[in-house]
Structure 1
């Protein structure tokens, strides 16, 4: 008698299980490490201007080089990521980037600093390229929103803590001591990550077929929903990085004239961003992300308008609304892309991050020229145009 054996069902990590806790804690720390290193120089751009005798727009290349490296690395990994073990790739990226962060402590030429930052960003892309794909493969669907929001919360907290610590250390000593602190912390987090993150159970490495990969990318670019979200990510992330690149310069000048240790506190707004990712992530498990995202983007514009006011508490409130809404939007957009891509999820999410970080690099530097040439008000209105364009793209995506 023939005996048939039913295929074992795919069981993914459920909320409350030990495996889920280890995944969410490890992936949270990976996001923390990536953003602390990626935006290491953002809070010390005024100090770089003084040390290397460069303009604010030129100094922004210390940040833009990292994010452009991230974008280039993501393009490469969008072709290769499905052939590489998820855990090992992310661990190598965390440790390798930490070594480069430590190397930057000893660099005294600005152009060399930019080059090292570019390579560091490219290596860090190994985490970003596969983190969302790892979560979508290993975590059950009803817990996916929470898992993604925790990863993005790690991004937000890493960005916040890194900026605050770097600015305080740089103000009391110099930026090199701050870079050393971030590099050593990155090494510790990388080692912990490699020890604690569970290995993939549902990932099957695939041989790289370049022709098939290009064809797969062509499929993504023929899907209007995904294309519109890629373009919206480019515009909105460019605006977000612009605000955090240049707000320190604005707050140093009249009518605010704030000292560095007070300006460092503005990065506490990233805690509001963490709240934004959690609210958006949890709510998107109940309400369709494509509907929910339409409420977050107009709030980004409202926050920008409040930042035109020359009263400190109104300005800070606007920054908080802006940050909360941006992280909520980013959480929803990344979830939509991950779910819309039925095959090649790591390629689809890598391309999303590519547009995201390309916007950071290109717009983040270009708006510095606007600020230097025309002042804060024109700078804010240029960002409002980007937000409106992003909102129209998301509306188009929703109709599809």
Structure 2
């Protein structure tokens, strides 16, 4: 039996459904990010405390990915992803009716945990089921779904909250996510090249030790944590910055700041094309270095300079993330789901820790020091790229 190849119906179904899964996951995962000012106002809480609504989901993702790094191969790929998408949609719907911040945070952890089932196996499924000739395109489709889901969720949440209130915004996105989960359930193909198998705990521990003892894996995992933490921090708190002097922008303009995610799609796609001409290491290094330039632009008090810097930062973040995740999947000859789960574990751990920690840091310092902290994180990531080796894709 051949893997799904170019111009086949099976490949089309895989690409469309894997795109929709990314759309659903990321529209829910960062749903509350643009709503933080609304939530902070309603619950009369601080910037850092309100950001727990974002970090709770990413903490849940990190816990779930740790769990699935041991258990993912014991489940059907499709059944696990369907369960994750349906259960997360129901939790998002429930969240629109909750009146206590603590319960919302708990539901965020739970939602992150169940939704991690998609991220834990999606990259492994693609590499198992798709022909190498279209592997890069299919991976880009999945990551583009992540990007567009994150962008559309933030934009729609901001606009809907401005007109209908944040609770109705959450409710509508929950309904949309439920619809996407049902479409995925109906059309996503079952695995042809993977069968669920009981995993021995000791074997998994040995595999994970091998990943953590490998300098390339460890560098790529730390890069994922630092870059994602910096990226989430910028999008968590930039809306607070833009609402205040010297910008004093209204919520409609701030909502369209999240259109910058569209340049992330180009970053994902172009990094795949560039990998045909340049080494993965070169692309990763160049992307991370350009991120530093993008962060520096956020020091400015000129709104257009900030927008330009945000665009560069977003484009190069997704280019770097795409290349780093591909390098992990390619390097892991065995136990791909475990290797990629650990990558996502670090990715979301960075999002949780740096994403919320930088908010408290901003609260006690200023925007200048906040941007300085993120610049340091990205600079460390660039140093780590110098330690990685080119991996044959």
TM-score range, shorter chain: over 0.9
Q: Does the alignment pair 1:228 with 2:219?
A: yes
Q: What is the aligned residue count? A: 391
Please give the residue correspondences for 1:16-95 in structure 2 after superposition, counting only pairs within 5 Å: 16-95=7-86
Query: Could you give the per-residue CA deviations for residues 112-161 of structure 1, whole angstroms, max 9, x where no partner exists?
Result: 10000100000000000000000000111222111111111000000000
Q: State the alpha-carbon separation in 2 of the partners of residues 138 and 302 from structure 1.
A: 38
Task: Give the structure 2 partner of residue 264 of structure 1.
Answer: 255
* 1:113 pairs with 2:104: yes
Q: Distance in 1 between matches of 2:383 and 2:206?
A: 28
- Post-superposition CA distance 1:77-98 (Å, at most 9, x none): 0000011111111011000000
Question: CA shift at 1:205, angstroms?
Answer: 1.8
Deviation per CA, 1:159-185, whole angstroms, max 9, x where unpaired? 000000001111112111001111100
Instruction: Determine the structure 1 residue equivalent to 2:386.
Output: 395
| Distance in 2 (alpha carbons) for counterparts of 1:312 and 1:96 | 40
Tell me the equivalent position of 1:362: 353
Equivalent residues of 2:280, 2:390 under 8 A apart: no
**SS in structure 2 opposite 1:397?**
coil
- Whole-Å separation in 1 of the counterparts to 2:322 and 2:276: 12
**What stretches of structure 1 move > 4 A for 4+ residues in a row?**
none
Which segment is superposed worse, 138-147 or 121-130? Answer: 138-147
Partner residue of 1:208 out of 199, 204, 208: 199
1:1-400 maps to which residues of 2 (within 5 A)? 11-398=2-389
Alpha-carbon distance between aligned partners in 2 of 1:288 and 1:16, rounded to the nearest angstrom: 28
Contact 1:39 1:163 in 2 (8 A): yes
Is the contact between residue 96 and residue 167 of structure 2 (CA under 8 Å) also seen in structure 1?
yes
CA distance in structure 1 between the aligned counterparts of 2:131 and 2:373, rounded to whole angstroms: 41
Q: Deviations over 1:170-223 (max 9, x none)?
A: 111211100111110011000000111111111122212111111111111111
Indicate the SS of the match to 1:54. coil
- Cα offset, 1:13, TM superposition: 1.3
Structure 1 residues without counterparts, runs of 5 or longer: 1-9
Structure 1 residues 332-372: Cα deviation after superposition (integer angstroms, max 9, x where no partner) = 00000001111000000000000000000000011011211
- List gaps (5 residues or longer) in structure 2: none
Q: Please say if residues 142 and 285 of structure 1, whose CA atoms lie closer than 8 Å, have aligned partners that are also in contact.
A: no
Q: Which has the larger radius of gyration?
A: 1
**Structure 1 residues 286, 195: CA separation in 2 closer, same or farther (over 3 Å shift)?**
farther
TM-score, normalised on structure 1? 0.96
Is this contact kept in 2: 1:28–1:150, CA < 8 A? yes
Indicate the SS of the match to 2:389.
helix
Provide the C-alpha distance between the structure 1 equivalents of 2:6 and 2:382, rounded to a whole number of angstroms.
Answer: 33
